[in-house]
Amino acid sequence: MFFRSKAKAEAADEPQEEQGFFKRIVSGLVKTRKSLVKRVRKAIRLKAKIDDELLEEIEEILIQSDVGMETTLKIIEDLRLESSSADAPELILTRLKQSIEGILLKNERLFEVPADTKPFVVIMVGVNGSGKTTTIGKIAQKLVAEGKKVMLVAGDTFRAAAIEQLCIWGERTGAQVVKSEMNADAAAVCYRALEEAQTNGTDVVLIDTAGRLHTKRHLMDELEKIVRVIKKTMPDAPHETILVLDATTGQNALNQAKIFGEKSGVTGMIMTKLDGTAKGGVLIGLRDRFATPVLMIGVGEGADDLRPFNPHEFIEALFSEEEDVEEA
Ligand SMILES: Nc1nc2c(ncn2[C@@H]2O[C@H](COP(=O)(O)OP(=O)(O)O)[C@@H](O)[C@H]2O)c(=O)[nH]1
Ligand SMILES: [Mg+2]
């Protein structure tokens, strides 16, 4: 089923496809694993016992992996409370894993399109370059493959390239694209799109939006206007407002989550580009500090590299002992 995944990709009788996806996450997290878990392993190897020095080293590693100060201190406190100097240093790794898992396992929810809501309206928000348009394309590809009728709405009317990019995804996936001229009113495009979607049997509407800096009031006003206009045609829409965050921006992603979350009624988050960065620890900080669920993660450029966020899978991949091939 779309965007459902197994709790753990471990059993030998697991379908091959699932194992393949797990491997993708393992390889997608190579840089973060190296900056976080491998360094902790190394620190432990040099120690005879668990002491303040080891905890301080782990603290530094977590901060450098972009987990964030607040969450790091919480984890270190966890480790301190549970450990005594009589414990073997290896135990700290198991406890670190448990502590992080405790943070990740909350408010879990998958992205699902309910059969009784038609059209199901999804709006993507986030700063420029975070991966909104690409993520829409990847989602569209999967939904179309499932036999759903999908409409893409070019609500980013500020850049011709953005409209063009969405059209390419439309051609690639067979999804309908509703667009207008550059600089046209984004809310008007959305209104027109929704009216059509309600009459032409569309199952899912994916709305792309502009992402100029979130500090600019104008962007938030525009998003609010889009939502207002959507509600005029479909009072219960949008059904999902998804904030797309780029993992490579590290702590900045936390700021964006705060600002967008406050202003635009975000119901779920997607973290992209986990493959390109050693800053994947930011996902741990994000789960710790915000109640909004992470619905999916992006671990590469391909459509299959957008995966449902499964905390167990994530943690197993992060702590995997897979010999990593050195990446450039
Ligand atoms: N490596 C990697 N690149 C990604 C991922 N998601 C998006 N990108 C790339 O990030 C860039 C910006 O994406 P785009 O969708 O245009 O961002 P937008 O401005 O928010 O719409 C593009 O080059 C995408 O291919 C991901 O999960 N991994
Ligand atoms: Mg875009």
Q: Is 179's C-beta closer than 6 angstroms to any atom of ligand 1?
A: no
Least confident of 210-219, 267-276, 296-305: 210-219
Beta bridge partner(s), residue 177: 152
CB 239 within 8 A of CB 230: no
298 CB under 6 A from ligand 1?
Answer: yes
* Environment class of 302 (CB within 10 Å of its CB; exposed 0-12, middle 13-18, buried 19+): exposed
DSSP state, residue 42: H
> Lowest-pLDDT range, 205-214, 230-239, 262-271?
205-214
Residues 250 and 130: their CA atoms lie apart, in Å, by 12
Rg (CA), the chain: 21
pLDDT of res. 8: 41
For residue 138, the ligand 1 atom closest to its alpha carbon is 6
Report the alpha-carbon distance of residue 67 to residue 12 in Å, rounded: 33
Cross-strand bridge partners of residue 121: 205
- For the chain, the average pLDDT equals 90
Give 112 or 6, the one with higher predicted confidence. 112
Torsion angles phi and psi, residue 174, rounded to 5:
85, 10
Ligand 2 midpoint to CA 220 (Å): 16
Q: Please tell me whether residue 124 adopts helix, strand or coil conformation.
A: strand
28 Cβ below 6 A of ligand 1: no
Beta bridge partners of 272: 246
Whether residue 135 is predicted with pLDDT greater than 60 in this model: the reply is yes
pLDDT of residue 143: 97
Judged by its nearest atom, the ligand closest to the C-alpha of residue 155 is 2
Omega cis (within 30) before 311: no
Quote the ligand 2 centre to 208 CA distance (angstroms).
7
Q: Is the dihedral of CA 295, 300, 301, 307 positive or negative?
A: negative
List the residue whose alpha carbon is closest to atom 26 of ligand 1: 273
Query: Encoding tokens for residue 209?
Result: 């939006």
Q: Name the strand (E) or helix (H) holding 63.
A: helix 52-64
Whether 304 is in the pocket of ligand 1, judged by its Cβ within 6 Å, is no
Place of tokens 């992603």: 253
Confidence category of residue 215, pLDDT binned at 50, 70, 90: low
The predicted pLDDT at position 287 comes to: 96
At 218-260, the pLDDT tens digits run: 778 888 999 999 999 999 999 999 999 999 999 999 999 998 8
**pLDDT above 70: residue 1:** no
Residue-wise pLDDT for 151-166, tens only, equals: 999 999 888 889 999 9
Q: What are 23-76's pLDDT values in tens digits?
A: 889 999 999 999 999 999 999 998 888 999 999 999 999 999 999 999 999 999
pLDDT over threshold 80, residue 283: yes
Does the pLDDT value for residue 15 go beyond 80? Answer: no
Residues 306-321 pLDDT 10s? 999 999 999 999 999 8
CA of 162 relative to ligand 2 center, distance in Å: 5
**pLDDT digit string, tens, across residues 164-182:** 999 999 999 999 999 988 8
